[in-house]
Amino acid sequence: MNLKKATSLLAITLLSVGVLSGCGHTPQAQKDTTKPLQVCTNATFVPFEFKDDANATEYKGFEMDLLQAVSKEMGQPVALNNVPFAGIIPALQQGTMDLGASGITLSPERAEKVAFSAPFYESKLVLLVPASGSIHSINDLKNKTVAVQMGTTAADYCDSKKLATKQFDHNSEVIMELQVGGSPAGILDKPVADYYLTKEGKGKFKVIDLPDAKGEYLAFAMNKNNPQLQKDIDAALLKLKKNGTFQKIYQKWFGTNCPNLPDSAAAALAQTAK
């Protein structure tokens, strides 16, 4: 066998081995960072995600700013889809959407259906009162009427404390009730109250903690079969916290420093279960 023929046979043999070995292994797809993550949101939850009006195209809010910062850190763009809130988790389960960003409470029931990132906000009920008023704690509400939104955990909390309530359809009406002096105090979600204090309520109202109100964590949600996305988002959130970007965004929307938060969904769930 001459050298030229031997060399040709060797090349054919090596090519065959390569093809056969390729047939027995399916390589994992590389993450396409040019393809936008499809994000579903319900832009009606001020100050987390909202639009200025029905015709506006720009999404605003704490979570929207944080999402854009996470996107930049991951090096992957996002495409926002405004959908009914009830459709977010089913869309994630079906795989038609990659990420849910809509003030989603991290709960054991939801964690059975979808995966969550590390939490980015701790929410709970708080007392909103005039800054110069006589209410300093929940104990000062005896024989007084509290403004709350009907059908909410605030209304349930007042029932458990046997407090008289004046109930409204929306949180904005609760705040208006306080502004006109119709009720001496209102109980509502902390982010709503904190945001109000950065706007019209600045210097006029104050937030009082309710020590026995159960805390809840908000987080991004995703399909349970996409652990890599969960890891990437958690890594991005951690870096944003270390470089100060997270705190800057938090300060912008709530006018206060972010408290220490659990570093994973599992840790948050364990903490709320206590």
Instruction: Report the CATH number of the 125-209 domain.
Output: 3.40.190.10
Give the residue with greater pLDDT, 269 vs 10. Answer: 269
Q: Where would I find the beta strands (DSSP E) of the chain?
A: 37-41, 44-45, 49-50, 78-82, 99-100, 115-116, 121-123, 125-130, 145-149, 164-168, 185-189, 205-209, 216-218, 221-222
At 223-244, the pLDDT tens digits run 999 999 999 999 999 999 999 9
Q: Report the C-alpha gap between 90 and 223 in whole angstroms.
A: 10
**In terms of CATH, what superfamily is 37-122+217-269?**
Periplasmic binding protein-like II (3.40.190.10)
> In which band, very low, low, confident or very high, does the pLDDT at 218 lie, cut at 50, 70 and 90?
very high
Task: Say what the pLDDT of residue 177 is.
Answer: 97
Amino acid at 107: S
Question: 264 is written with which tokens?
Answer: 């994973």
User: pTM score, two decimals?
Assistant: 0.70
Same fold, 37-122+217-269 and 125-209: yes
Is 60 exceeded by the pLDDT of residue 200?
Answer: yes
CB 164: neighbour CB atoms within 10 A? 12
Is 70 exceeded by the pLDDT of residue 112?
Answer: yes
Average pLDDT on 193-217 reads 91
**Domain boundaries along the sequence of the chain:** 37-122+217-269, 125-209
At 153-197, the pLDDT tens digits run 788 899 999 999 999 887 888 999 999 999 999 999 888 898 899
Average pLDDT on 31-38 reads 82
CA 57 → CA 38, 52, 80, 252, distances in Å? 16, 9, 10, 21
At 64-98, the pLDDT tens digits run 999 999 999 999 999 999 998 889 999 999 999 99
